[in-house]
Amino acid sequence: MSTTAMWLLLVVVVVVILFASVLYKRSFTVHELSMIGVMAALSLVAYLFFRVPFYGGSSFHLGNTFTALTALLLDGVSGGLAGAIGLALADILAGDPGYAVTTFVLKFIIGIVCGAVAHKLLHLRRQDPANKGPYLARVTIAAASGLLVNVITDPLLGYFRNVYIFGQEYSLAQAMAKVAGGVTLVNSLVSTLCVVLLYLAIRPALERAGFLKAEHTGR
């Protein structure tokens, strides 16, 4: 596929996801937009400057940390946009625009899953941090949910990208998918730990600053 076609595909993906986001959540507050921008920038920096590349384009990095963290602090759409924008832009700046298309989709999936588990299933904002055991368990499950889903979606979508966009041989694409799965698993486990630690440290400060609404009912 030509470079022009890949850019066009990326634009289409971005427009579709942004349109879906508007349907899901009609407006963003100034605080939310600010946090999305900061988290997107942190994702970009974490990928461009603190990554370890592996065979076949895979790399160890902590960029996904900020996707899941934003989803836990705000919601799935915000987390998905922060990761998708930051890491797709990182791919482009790193000279890999062909990866940016799948990156945008994959990071959006991480955010949506983390947000759904955190706020729809576990109702994380209503939990009292004073109940340390249950609270820590819920934060960990919410953080791990989208990141571990990425262990499946990343190599799967990467396989189709490598075959149908990059034109690789099936055997080579399969080998790269296996490498990607292993690297993504390590990324996800380490990123989950980072998300939990950052969330526990940042959420109280953001609530005191008025960026987040404290909804837990514990005393």
What CATH number does the domain containing 87 carry?
Answer: 1.10.1760.20
Alpha-carbon distance of 199 to 129, in angstroms, equals 11
Structure tokens at 80: 């998905």
Amino acid letter for position 139? V
Domain that holds residue 69: 3-209
Q: Are 214 and 207 in contact (CB under 8 A)?
A: yes
Sequence-separated (6 or more) residues with CB below 8 Å from residue 47: 59, 61, 63, 86, 87, 90, 94
Q: What pLDDT, on the 0 to 100 scale, is given for residue 72?
A: 97
Give the residue from 158, 151, 135 showing the smallest Cα distance to 183: 151
Strand segments, DSSP code E, in the chain are 52-53, 59-60
Q: How many CB atoms lie within 10 A of CB 28?
A: 18
Any domain includes 143: yes
Q: What's the number of domains the chain is made of?
A: 1
- pLDDT tens sequence across 177-205: 888 888 899 999 999 999 999 999 999 99
For the chain, count helices (H), then strands (E).
7, 2
Any domain includes 216: no
Q: Cα-flanking dihedrals φ and ψ of residue 94, to 5°?
A: -80, 0
Any domain includes 215: no
Any domain includes 218: no
pLDDT at 2 over 60: no
Alpha-carbon distance of 37 to 83, in angstroms, equals 10
Amino acid letter for position 128? D
pLDDT, mean of residues 55-65: 80
pLDDT at 3 over 60: no
Any domain includes 214: no
Any domain includes 139: yes
pLDDT at 162 over 90: no
pLDDT, mean of residues 113-135: 93
pLDDT at 14 over 70: no
Any domain includes 217: no
CA 25, 31, 34, 38 torsion-angle sign: negative
Q: How many CB atoms lie within 10 A of CB 17?
A: 18
Q: Up-side HSE of residue 1: CA atoms within 13 Å toward CB?
A: 21
Sequence-separated (6 or more) residues with CB below 8 Å from residue 90: 43, 44, 47, 48, 63, 103
Lowest mean pLDDT of 15-19, 69-73, 195-199, 209-213, name the range.
15-19
Any domain includes 45: yes
